[in-house]
Structure 1
């Protein structure tokens, strides 16, 4: 028996297949299940639970004596500036994207170790020498409203192939019947395979984090309302965060889950958008197709062209990454803005101006849904350009409340700030939104106490630049 275990453990060091959890009893496959099958096939019979637990304890103890190797889902950094894309295949074949091209290889475990879950679908082997026709095939299947939207969708897909690039969350919107869910599935399945799909938003943050951490692209379908908790969770998903909770069946141990994942949303209208989420969204508008097709016909064609689409996307990714471009310093998602600048330099298209214009449109949505922001802009119109006005937060609250109520004394709306502290906190959230319209909010302190300062700039530069596009 000792010789059997020694042979098994030695094979683990040579195995280039995706990593397996040691004890999981789920349907994704675990090393526990693999050992049980190996014992049975080698004529050892079926071990009882105690013997198998002791064997797994030994494997865990031996693992602690080895170097720690990180595991990755779907996308991973490699050596010499390369990145990897997991194709989800049992033989471990993956795509290595390097500065001069891309190849289909089985990664060395010292460079990349893949982790698989039930959300990890299989991708087809990408086609070589596509001459870029896969991008055209994809755009023909989707119902994007214009060329600028298509540029942003392609730039987002390229960002999904980079494990270290935070990308904004595409929000597929449009009239009823525009194919938002179908378009979302098509974008997701380029990275997640034909098993990738949209899902409803979980009702609590814990389930959302569990689903996000187990996959790469998370796609939430048919959103009609966005609670503050869901909005905050989406911000964390896009830019990265960590969840820590007590490990099961322990008193003092903890379980850590770190995550930063591409996120995709669909819906006609989600209501009021909070300012912090606005900077992390990428609106993609779709239009109703003129000719309807059956689901079977549409997805049969999509599955047929997917290898060509993936090959063209990989070719374009190599081309874009090879280009040097200046990083815009005025946008929240600087990594994605830099990617858009590289995309424009490589293709001659206008992804970066389209990204700026989309953010400006979202800024309008935030203002239209926030009566306080509208009142502040009304007051700012009374300030001379370049001038500043200082008051305490309580004085600002009285000033803005009187301006909203007007001479007829209409009642203040629900959610209106009730104290100076609440107003100050709301203004902190609205700072980027108001700055895009030429109104700067700052705070300071004098001997008399704290104050808030409102300054009206000569012109809202970002608004005019984006509209010029």
Structure 2
């Protein structure tokens, strides 16, 4: 055969790739390769240790007898494939949990054969999803889950709760509600904060909850030193679990708020002058620790305190995890059964709680099981509000000022006048020195009150802002009646 009749190496690679793989792009322009008939997709530019597309292309060419090609030919072929894929329609990729067709959701089991769980309104089943319905993206944090057991009759939930050391039945139902929320791709869920005395098994219980969703390789991690490292970790997995927190910096607190309810970061692409790439994320989180000190009000609304107690009988780690590994298929099957039942339950949506989607899920769980999950969630939020107030002297002073107001009374002053009044109230006749962090200007006071607004509202003190002509004011009101949910515990 003459040299003119030979196909260039890049043409051989391109023809093979287009025959065996499907190429598409996401909304941010990243091009992915997906072996035809398989739901797992890999970015074609990835050099990751979990297996890059370049590697699987090289292995496929070699095993099918087409030869071994040099790096230049592979690069030229992938450049052409990437350019062609940029003209295709976009499709999202998902980690662990994804929305499907007809109201279904999918759970990636992390298996090499692509089998996943399809959760739909009439039940759940294990199947390989259509690649055009769901594209999975996997990283080193994507562990393998066992095949769940069908028709477990709720046995797995009891097995899980027996292995954990939750202090009360209310704590148990909140933990179950959080697990159900983790299986929803579009439901923001508050971050459980496992607390309790030393030796209560907080880290062990945290691992057990995480591994139901992330597999036996899922684990707790220490809090990263900066937000960029936290974002990288969050983007690579589904559940982010931070262990043994003892202090919550303002930056970490703000980052957690964004992770729980969803955010997007934009970063400069490497080796470019002006290109950027986007990292969007909304992930379930889990925290453990004895005490993290002062909790900021905006984070408190996104936390779910779960208290544990010290076990009466100690067991070895090997014995405990051997039992957990054995019953995990039953636990997962029972959780899926309960998820289907809860999603089909009809319940009103509470409108007075920040995490309304999770509150609705709690109400559905109550309807399906007879639990008191929503009441437990309200009680946990009240407890967190108490923690915020106990750690904030300004909030305590505002409540002291409001206690002298009659129900229905409204007080209007400028921010500077409020600062003078509250400072005088705190200092008192003995002229106590002001604490570190006390507002020094009316603007700082106004900003602090905006953060405290939901916490104060939960204690029947409404703070609002307005303007009269050219003058701005802050209004403080004590409502004449308590909030509706305190009047009627059924709503």
Normalising by structure 1, report the TM-score: 0.97
Q: 2:165 aligns with which of 139, 143, 147?
A: 143
Q: 1:220 aligns with which of 242, 245, 251?
A: 242
Q: 2:453 aligns with which of 413, 431, 436?
A: 431
Distance in 1 (CA, whole Å) between partners of 2:12 and 2:213 is 43
Q: CA deviation at 1:61?
A: 1.6
Distance in 1 (CA, whole Å) between partners of 2:240 and 2:487 is 32
Q: Does 1:390 align with 2:412?
A: yes
Query: Which secondary structure does the structure 1 equivalent of 2:162 belong to?
Result: helix
Deviates more, 1:387-396 or 1:225-234: 387-396
Q: CA deviation at 1:385?
A: 1.1
Q: 2:18 aligns with which of 3, 9, 18?
A: 9
Q: Does 1:85 align with 2:94?
A: no
Q: Does 1:34 align with 2:56?
A: yes
Deviates more, 1:136-145 or 1:382-391: 382-391
Q: 2:139 aligns with which of 92, 95, 117?
A: 117
- The residue number in structure 1 matching 2:308 is 286
Deviations 1:190-227, CA, capped at 9 Å, x for gaps: 00000000000111111100100110000000000000
- The residue number in structure 2 matching 1:406 is 428
Distance in 1 (CA, whole Å) between partners of 2:301 and 2:58 is 50
Deviations 1:100-151, CA, capped at 9 Å, x for gaps: 0001000001110100001000000000110110000000000000110000
Distance in 1 (CA, whole Å) between partners of 2:380 and 2:490 is 13
Give yes or no for contact 2:166–2:306 (8 Å, CA) kept in 1.
Answer: yes
Q: 1:6 to 1:468 in 2, by over 3 A?
A: closer
Deviates more, 1:452-461 or 1:422-431: 452-461
Q: 1:450 to 1:414 in 2, by over 3 A?
A: same
- The residue number in structure 1 matching 2:79 is 57
Q: Does 1:190 align with 2:212?
A: yes
Distance in 2 (CA, whole Å) between partners of 1:30 and 1:465 is 59
Deviates more, 1:36-45 or 1:342-351: 36-45
Deviates more, 1:46-55 or 1:358-367: 46-55
1:68-467 pair list within 5 angstroms? 68-447=90-469, 449-461=471-483, 464=486
Distance in 2 (CA, whole Å) between partners of 1:94 and 1:163 is 15
Q: CA deviation at 1:260?
A: 0.2
Distance in 2 (CA, whole Å) between partners of 1:73 and 1:232 is 24
Deviations 1:149-205, CA, capped at 9 Å, x for gaps: 000000000000010111000000011110000000000000000000000011111
Distance in 1 (CA, whole Å) between partners of 2:288 and 2:248 is 12
Q: CA deviation at 1:44?
A: 4.6
Deviations 1:366-410, CA, capped at 9 Å, x for gaps: 000000000111111111111111111111111111111111111
Q: CA deviation at 1:279?
A: 0.6
Distance in 2 (CA, whole Å) between partners of 1:114 and 1:374 is 49
Q: Which runs of 5+ in 2 are unaligned?
A: 1-8, 23-35
Query: Which secondary structure does the structure 2 equivalent of 1:19 belong to?
Result: strand
Distance in 2 (CA, whole Å) between partners of 1:8 and 1:214 is 27
Give yes or no for contact 1:360–1:463 (8 Å, CA) kept in 2.
Answer: no
Deviations 1:427-453, CA, capped at 9 Å, x for gaps: 111111111111111121113611111
Q: CA deviation at 1:468?
A: 11
Query: Which secondary structure does the structure 1 equivalent of 2:136 belong to?
Result: coil
Give yes or no for contact 2:460–2:479 (8 Å, CA) kept in 1.
Answer: yes
Give the paired residue count.
469
Normalising by structure 2, report the TM-score: 0.93
Q: CA deviation at 1:467?
A: 9.5
Distance in 1 (CA, whole Å) between partners of 2:267 and 2:123 is 42
Distance in 2 (CA, whole Å) between partners of 1:126 and 1:90 is 16
Q: CA deviation at 1:300?
A: 0.3
Query: Which secondary structure does the structure 2 equivalent of 1:153 belong to?
Result: helix
Distance in 2 (CA, whole Å) between partners of 1:395 and 1:61 is 63
Q: 1:256 to 1:466 in 2, by over 3 A?
A: farther
Distance in 2 (CA, whole Å) between partners of 1:3 and 1:60 is 16
Task: Compute the RMSD of aligned alpha carbons.
Answer: 1.6
- The residue number in structure 1 matching 2:25 is none
Query: Which secondary structure does the structure 1 equivalent of 2:102 belong to?
Result: coil
Give yes or no for contact 1:357–1:466 (8 Å, CA) kept in 2.
Answer: no
Deviations 1:239-279, CA, capped at 9 Å, x for gaps: 00000011111112111000000000000000000010111
Q: CA deviation at 1:49?
A: 2.4
